[in-house]
């Protein structure tokens, strides 16, 4: 039975039993406590907690999940995977144990011809929580499972939670006995390799607090109602029903694994080490494909880092398997798309964008390996020169933060050079970075309040009605006030307050458009200056600002008014963004997609997927096309329709955004048609003019254009025209000849700089003979310690040191140390000959002595090394430190 058929059959069974089929949510979790959806119940968490009223009493889904906690185990075991699909049925205060247990047993044991999975009831075992007498009784008396095939287990095994504060409860698991060939008898307690878990029925009735592990956390109390949450791993079920030993041999993962084997020329099953590598590639390429499809892009933090890490682990394993640096990801992504399209048809229509993202990351990693490896090698040489066997945690973090090196790659490379890595420091720096980013993001989205505060307001009062498409001001009622994270009955002058209204003309920041600003006034009693509006949870507008005067009280009737000039300016920027998007797609092809935007008053930035930079001519053509379209004064129209109809008419959707059944389409004739909730001009002529300010790279496969719009664009053009006129006057050149004139000046200037550099280097080297003649004996070696004139570069110092060393020959041990302050930061170079090395003098060690005196560090080869520091006043001390160290050598 194919994987897609297993999912279809599961959903169909529960649909006939009164459950609403809910499509899989995006892997990008709405829950701010989670990076990615990691369990089938995550989209339903607010219903379990009572934060929102569920629109159905029973539901069933096949939910995409990503879990990276055990990523290092992927490929090493038969069951670990970073991406998996969880089949589940859910009850929200409807049925409980008495309903879930018989339904699960019936579906598992029902014949295949009747829509079931056809399991032999005699080979199924059950576990229950150690004090759950009710569940055991139901299994025995209602279903008929013999008591000897029911085992009681503790909290670690049979009590479920998401691993973070939230809903939890005891569970009952169903296991399949694979037979004596897979292990010893005795049920799941004896051998979970032979007795494989196929389904977990969670009786969700409690809420847990924070704490580590699976059993070290407090139970805060009971949930508002008793619920059911079940989870059946689709991949594990496929392995059982397809008669294979592990998930990597199923119809989906097996296709990707076999393709990886073909590409690399490695036979699966021939060697345990290469088998692990092939399984890692198969798992990671499927995960990467699904993440990119849901709008995740490679990056150096959060979910972007998860994607980058698994792609780079795939590349690393493919190189080890094949022994080449050939590019395989495009082919493997195509195989992953084909393997999963039976369940997710949108993968095929989105294939070009998926390939663009993954291909760009593969090319980028090739550059990363070159530049990052050079940085690693320098740091490793420094480590060895200092006599240490531990690679710096700070250097490991820099490799991650600057070059995107996964820590496991650094660990592997360090191990190849006989070094360990200071992982504690690395983890600390990583955590500091994550904590800062998390605080910033949470402060932006949630302010100081817990999400439950907003959820209670939404549940008690309903969603905020947005009036801003047609009205710039309006009367409203105050539903709630929040000060310092707590709901309050009133706020007074000077208070920083969050105001929730039943209706509002204020646009809340979303879709790249900045929030409106304005005032909320209580007639004759108080005024709140609003400087930001956010939607911390769907449907709830939170107005943030300061009480300017008087007070504001819950249930007050207020008048809300936006800054109309600011709104108009932001709307012009947003409409310009749509035009730029279409022009870029016309220039670069339909695979070019939006990757982010920000619409400010009079200015915008637009990020888009692209494999290369736009040259000046292409950028000018895009700008001209946009201004040609807007000069036609096309009417801007918006309307509501179904998501399917909008996509069918060619409306562009923002990848990673979540859309409901009804969507808003904004169109500008046939030139631009997008799903968008933002505000726009009535006609393109209102934009005036759009001026592109530049194009740049902001990440792997992502480019950015910035633009000024309207009066801001006019002012920019006016300033540029004035500057060109002034330049033409100073150079006594017609405006049209300025490029050639400036190019000529720059060419002559560069030639002069090179000549000055040549003369200065020659002057430095002229001192070599005198320095060699003045070499002094220190112990068993001849030493030259010289401070070159300030401004001498590190390259010139190296040439001078090598020249002096060469003049002193190889008959005696020679050590040459030269230093300078080229740009307010001292540099020192040390060169020693072979005789000195044989006497125990190493350039790397000597430069380390000097660099420490300068307040810095350095390293290099045994014969020549370079270092530096921050204390420009310690150059002479550094040179004397080298002399003392040489004198100590024997």
What's the rounded Cα separation, in Å, for the pair 44 and 52? Answer: 9
pLDDT (0 to 100) of residue 144: 94
User: Could you report the per-residue pLDDT of 817-833, keeping only the tens digit for each?
Assistant: 999 998 778 999 999 99
Residues 129 and 105 in one domain: yes
- The pairing of strands 124-129 and 150-153 is parallel
Q: Does 578 carry a binding-site annotation?
A: yes
Q: Is residue 677 part of a domain?
A: yes
Q: Does 171 carry a binding-site annotation?
A: no
Q: Is residue 417 part of a domain?
A: no
Q: Is residue 392 part of a domain?
A: no
Q: Does 355 carry a binding-site annotation?
A: no
Q: Is residue 699 part of a domain?
A: yes
Residues 48 and 195 in one domain: yes
Higher pLDDT, 580 or 313: 580
Q: Is residue 387 part of a domain?
A: no
- The pairing of strands 58-66 and 195-208 is unpaired
End-to-end CA distance of the chain: 78
The CATH code of the domain that includes 459 is 2.40.30.130
Residues 547 and 695 in one domain: no
Domain edge (last residue) among 562, 592, 624: 562
Residues 588 and 702 in one domain: yes
Q: Is residue 22 part of a domain?
A: yes
Average pLDDT over residues 646-659: 78
pLDDT (0 to 100) of residue 128: 96
Instruction: Give DSSP secondary structure letters for 242-295.
Output: TT-SSGGGSTTHHHHHHHHHHHHT--TTS-HHHHHHHHHHHHHHHHHHHHHHTT
Q: Is residue 630 part of a domain?
A: yes
The CATH code of the domain that includes 649 is 3.30.980.10
Residue 272's pLDDT band, with cuts at 50, 70 and 90, is confident
Domain edge (last residue) among 527, 562, 597: 562
| Mean pLDDT for all residues in the chain | 88
Higher pLDDT, 581 or 316: 581
Statement: residue 685 has pLDDT above 80 = yes
Statement: residue 50 has pLDDT above 80 = no
Residues 607 and 712 in one domain: yes
pLDDT (0 to 100) of residue 452: 66
pLDDT (0 to 100) of residue 476: 95
Which class for 760: exposed (0-12), middle (13-18), buried (19 or more C-beta within 10 A)?
middle
pLDDT (0 to 100) of residue 303: 86
Q: How many CB atoms lie within 10 A of CB 797?
A: 24
Residues 711 and 787 in one domain: no
User: Could you report the per-residue pLDDT of 834-868, keeping only the tens digit for each?
Assistant: 999 988 899 988 998 999 899 887 777 889 999 88
Statement: residue 736 has pLDDT above 70 = yes
Phi, psi (rounded to 5 degrees) for 61: -155, 160
Residue 380's H or E segment, with its range, is: helix 351-385
Alpha carbon of residue 806 to chain centroid: 53
The CATH code of the domain that includes 797 is 3.10.310.40
Statement: residue 35 has pLDDT above 90 = no
User: Could you report the per-residue pLDDT of 737-796, keeping only the tens digit for each?
Assistant: 888 999 999 999 999 988 887 777 777 778 888 898 889 988 888 999 999 888 888 888
Under DSSP, the state recorded for 140 is: I
What's the rounded Cα separation, in Å, for the pair 97 and 806? Answer: 87
What's the rounded Cα separation, in Å, for the pair 388 and 386? Answer: 6
* Largest Cα span, the chain: 103
Residues 360 and 311 in one domain: yes
Residues 545 and 576 in one domain: no
- Provide the Cα torsion 57, 60, 65, 69; round to 10°: 60
User: Could you report the per-residue pLDDT of 439-476, keeping only the tens digit for each?
Assistant: 555 554 445 455 667 877 777 778 899 999 999 999 99
Residues 307 and 367 in one domain: yes
Q: Does this model's pTM top 0.85? A: no
The CATH code of the domain that includes 94 is 3.30.930.10
Q: At what angle do helices 3-16 and 97-109 cross, to 10 degrees?
A: 140
Average pLDDT over residues 343-355: 89
Statement: residue 276 has pLDDT above 70 = yes
Residue 242's pLDDT band, with cuts at 50, 70 and 90, is very high
| 477 to 474, 501, 513, 572, 579: CA distances (angstroms) | 10, 6, 25, 30, 38
pLDDT (0 to 100) of residue 434: 66
Residues 150 and 272 in one domain: no
Q: Does 680 carry a binding-site annotation?
A: yes
Residue 404's pLDDT band, with cuts at 50, 70 and 90, is low
Residues 881 and 778 in one domain: yes
Instruction: Give DSSP secondary structure letters for 170-184.
Output: EEEEEEEE--GGGS-
What's the rounded Cα separation, in Å, for the pair 540 and 115? Answer: 43
Q: Which of 566, 570, 550 has its CA nearest to residue 558?
A: 550
Q: Which domain holds residue 349?
A: 253-381+397-409
pLDDT (0 to 100) of residue 448: 47
What's the rounded Cα separation, in Å, for the pair 506 and 472? Answer: 8
Total number of domains constituting the chain: 5
Residues 257 and 341 in one domain: yes
Average pLDDT over residues 316-333: 89
pLDDT (0 to 100) of residue 13: 96
Domain edge (last residue) among 562, 584, 605: 562
Q: Is residue 816 part of a domain?
A: yes
* Percent of the chain whose predicted confidence (pLDDT) is above 70: 96
């Amino acid at each position: 039975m194919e994987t897609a058929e297993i999912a279809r059959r599961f959903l169909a069974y529960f649909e006939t039993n009164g459950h609403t089929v809910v499509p899989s949510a995006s892997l990008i979790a709405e829950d701010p406590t989670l990076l990615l959806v990691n369990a089938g119940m995550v989209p339903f968490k607010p219903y379990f907690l009572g934060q929102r009223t569920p629109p159905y009493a029973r539901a069933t889904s096949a939910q995409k999940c990503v879990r990276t906690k055990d990523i290092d185990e992927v490929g090493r075991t038969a069951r670990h995977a970073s991406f998996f699909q969880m089949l589940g049925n859910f009850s929200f205060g409807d049925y409980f144990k008495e309903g879930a247990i018989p339904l699960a047993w019936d579906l598992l044991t029902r014949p295949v011809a009747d829509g079931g999975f056809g399991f032999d009831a005699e080979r199924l075992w059950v576990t229950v929580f150690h004090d759950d007498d009710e569940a055991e009784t139901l299994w025995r008396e209602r279903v008929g499972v013999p008591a000897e095939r029911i085992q009681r287990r503790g909290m670690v095994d049979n009590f479920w939670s998401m691993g973070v504060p939230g809903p939890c409860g005891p569970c009952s698991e169903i296991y399949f006995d694979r037979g004596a060939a897979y292990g010893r008898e005795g049920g799941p307690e004896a051998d979970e390799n032979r007795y494989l878990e196929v389904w977990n029925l969670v009786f969700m009735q409690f809420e847990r607090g924070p704490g580590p592990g699976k059993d070290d956390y407090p139970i805060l109390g009971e949930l508002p109602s008793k619920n059911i949450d079940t989870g059946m791993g689709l991949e594990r079920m496929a392995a059982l029903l397809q008669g294979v030993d592990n998930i990597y041999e199923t119809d989906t993962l097996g296709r990707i694994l076999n393709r990886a084997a073909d590409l690399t020329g490695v036979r699966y099953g021939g060697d345990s080490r290469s088998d692990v590598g092939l399984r890692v590639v198969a798992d990671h390429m499927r995960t990467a494909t699904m993440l990119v499809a849901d709008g995740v892009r490679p990056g150096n933090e959060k979910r972007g880092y998860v994607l980058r890490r698994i792609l780079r682990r795939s590349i690393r394993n493919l190189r080890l398997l094949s022994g080449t640096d050939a590019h395989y990801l495009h082919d493997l992504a195509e195989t992953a798309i084909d393997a999963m399209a039976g369940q997710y048809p949108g993968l095929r229509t989105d294939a070009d964008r998926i390939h663009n993202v993954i291909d760009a990351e593969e090319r980028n990693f090739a550059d990363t390996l070159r530049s990052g490896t050079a940085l690693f090698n320098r740091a490793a040489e420094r480590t060895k020169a200092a006599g240490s066997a531990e690679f710096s945690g700070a250097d490991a973090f820099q490799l991650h933060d600057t070059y995107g090196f996964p820590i496991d790659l650094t660990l592997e490379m360090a191990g190849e050079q006989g070094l360990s890595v200071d992982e504690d420091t690395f983890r600390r720096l990583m955590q500091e970075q994550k904590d800062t980013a998390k605080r910033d993001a949470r402060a932006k989205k949630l302010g100081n309040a817990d999400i439950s505060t907003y959820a209670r307001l939404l549940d008690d009062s309903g969603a905020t009605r947005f009036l801003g498409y047609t009205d710039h001001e309006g009367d409203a009622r105050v539903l709630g006030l929040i000060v310092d994270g707590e709901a309050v009955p009133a706020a007074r002058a000077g208070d920083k307050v969050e105001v929730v209204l039943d209706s509002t003309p204020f646009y809340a920041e979303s879709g790249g458009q900045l929030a409106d600003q304005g005032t909320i006034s209580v007639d004759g009693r108080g005024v709140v200056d609003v400087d930001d509006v956010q939607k911390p949870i769907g449907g709830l507008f939170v107005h943030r600002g300061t009480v300017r005067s008087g007070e504001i009280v819950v249930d007050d009737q207020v008048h809300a008014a936006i800054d109309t000039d600011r709104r108009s300016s932001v709307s012009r920027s947003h409409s310009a963004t749509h035009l730029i998007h279409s022009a870029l797609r016309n220039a670069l092809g339909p695979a070019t997609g939006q990757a982010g935007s920000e619409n400010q008053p009079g200015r915008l930035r637009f990020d888009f997927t692209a494999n290369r930079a736009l040259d000046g001519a292409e950028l000018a053509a895009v700008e001209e096309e946009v201004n040609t379209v807007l000069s036609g004064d096309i009417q801007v129209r918006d309307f509501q329709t179904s998501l399917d109809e909008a996509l069918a008419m060619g409306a562009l959707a923002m990848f990673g955004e979540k859309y409901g059944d009804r969507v808003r389409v904004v169109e500008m004739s046939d030139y631009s048609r997008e799903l968008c909730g933002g505000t726009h001009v009535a006609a393109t002529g209102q934009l005036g003019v759009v001026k592109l300010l530049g194009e740049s790279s902001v990440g792997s496969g992502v480019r950015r254009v910035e633009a000024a719009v309207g009066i801001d664009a006019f002012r920019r053009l006016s300033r540029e025209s004035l500057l060109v006129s002034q330049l033409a006057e100073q150079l006594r050149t017609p405006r049209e000849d300025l490029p050639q004139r400036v190019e000529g000046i720059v060419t002559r200037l560069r030639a002069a700089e090179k000549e000055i550099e040549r003369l200065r280097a020659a002057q430095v080297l002229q001192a070599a003979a005198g320095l060699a003649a003045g070499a002094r004996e220190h112990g068993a070696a001849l030493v030259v310690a010289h401070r070159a004139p300030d401004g001498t570069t590190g390259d010139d110092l190296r040439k001078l040191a090598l020249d002096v060393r060469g003049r002193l020959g190889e008959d005696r041990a020679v050590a040459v140390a030269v230093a300078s302050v080229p740009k307010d930061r001292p540099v020192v170079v040390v060169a020693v000959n072979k005789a000195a090395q044989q006497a125990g003098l190493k350039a790397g060690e000597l430069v380390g002595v000097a660099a420490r005196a300068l307040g810095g560090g350095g390293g290099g080869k045994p014969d020549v090394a370079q270092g530096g520091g921050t204390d420009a006043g310690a150059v002479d001390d550094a040179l004397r430190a080298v002399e003392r160290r040489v004198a100590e050598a024997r």
